[in-house]
Amino acid sequence: MQIFIRLAIAAQALFMLFVGTLFLLRPVEAAANFALAPLSLLGHATLRADMFGFFVSGALFALYAAWKSVRWPLLVPIALLACAIFGRLVSFMVDGVVPGSVEPIVAEIVMMLIVVTGFRTLPAR
């Protein structure tokens, strides 16, 4: 069971690493996948900094947790995903559910379930 959880965490982390790297190298293309549009070069820099930072920081801590079979690093992606899910719920309350708004929160909830399961399964060491 533990090896399956570690593989799931690693797969999720590699996906997040890919998305973050895409924001770093191709911010406009990556932003379009998230219904974002930078208004200027400052917007490009913001996408590179903020989105890259969000995805890669969560990914690196998750990869470390999966590699070392220890749970404490999973607190970082748990916190990041909790903030993202909270933001989506606020958007639902303020803006309502709009086309294309459900899929991202479902993906975030699935990722949250993976890292929370990992946190509950992996040793505390």
- The confidence band for 125, taking pLDDT boundaries of 50, 70 and 90, is confident
Structurally, the chain folds into a number of domains equal to 1
Residue 93: the pLDDT is 97
Mean pLDDT of the region 25-44: 94
With a pLDDT cut of 90, the percent of the chain lying above it is 98
Residue 95: the pLDDT is 96
Secondary structure of residue 91 in the 3-state scheme? helix
Mean pLDDT of the region 71-80: 98
Instruction: With CA atoms as reference, report the closest residue to 17 among 68, 65, 67, 52.
Output: 52
Q: Which domain holds residue 65?
A: 2-121
How many Å apart are CA 96 and CA 45, to the nearest integer?
A: 30
How many Å apart are CA 90 and CA 96, to the nearest integer?
A: 9
Instruction: With CA atoms as reference, report the closest residue to 80 among 103, 102, 55.
Output: 55
- The confidence band for 97, taking pLDDT boundaries of 50, 70 and 90, is very high
- The confidence band for 52, taking pLDDT boundaries of 50, 70 and 90, is very high
DSSP string, 3-50: HHHHHHHHHHHHHHHHHHHHHHH-HHHHHHHTT----SHHHHHHIIII
